[in-house]
């Protein structure tokens, strides 16, 4: 068992693994934002079905959340402020998981609204998926140190 840990530890802490996870999570969030940015009214209906947000904030969140997902996903992919982008995505995943849990316990027959406005009713599968993505995002936050685009390096040359 100790031999397995000594082999697995460098792989888990590898910045190349976090690069692959960065590309994966970033592309998932960009893909998730695509239908929501084009059809904010449908996404507003999905948000209203959760019955968590105040009525006056549904339209604002239907416009704001997809753009936040898109920008955070792009930042992860290009390596710009990856810790901040991972924090935003992790916070969104916690928010989404909590919302799914609340409505799953309420027994509301609603769809997730994650990637489109149509789909199956919410289930434990979405909660497990979001929790898994949260773990991957935590890995990105902890171990990402490769190919980070930094504005300071481009604008100011160090001597």
Give tens-digit pLDDT for 109-118.
888 888 876 7
* pTM of full prediction above 0.75: yes
What is the rounded CA–CA span in Å between residue 55 and residue 61? 10
Is residue 96 left, alpha or beta, with left meaning phi > 0 and alpha meaning psi from -120 to 50? alpha
Residue 30 burial (CB < 10 Å; 0-12/13-18/19+)? middle
3-class DSSP assignment, residue 70 = helix
More confident residue, 53 or 146: 53
What is the rounded CA–CA span in Å between residue 137 and residue 84? 11
């Amino acid at each position: 068992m100790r031999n397995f840990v000594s082999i697995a530890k460098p792989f888990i802490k590898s910045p190349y693994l976090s690069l692959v996870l960065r590309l994966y999570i970033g592309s998932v969030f960009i893909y998730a934002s695509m239908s929501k940015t084009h059809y904010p009214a449908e996404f507003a209906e999905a948000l209203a079905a959760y019955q968590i947000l105040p009525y006056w904030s549904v339209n604002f969140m239907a416009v704001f959340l997809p753009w936040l997902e898109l920008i955070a996903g792009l930042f992860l992919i290009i390596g710009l402020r990856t810790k901040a982008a991972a924090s935003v995505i992790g916070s969104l995943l916690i928010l989404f998981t909590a919302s799914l849990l609340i409505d799953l316990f309420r027994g509301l027959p609603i769809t997730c609204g994650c990637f489109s406005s149509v789909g199956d009713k919410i289930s434990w599968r979405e909660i497990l998926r979001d929790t898994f993505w949260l773990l991957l995002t935590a890995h990105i936050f902890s171990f990402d140190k490769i190919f980070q685009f930094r504005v300071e390096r481009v604008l100011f040359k160090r001597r």
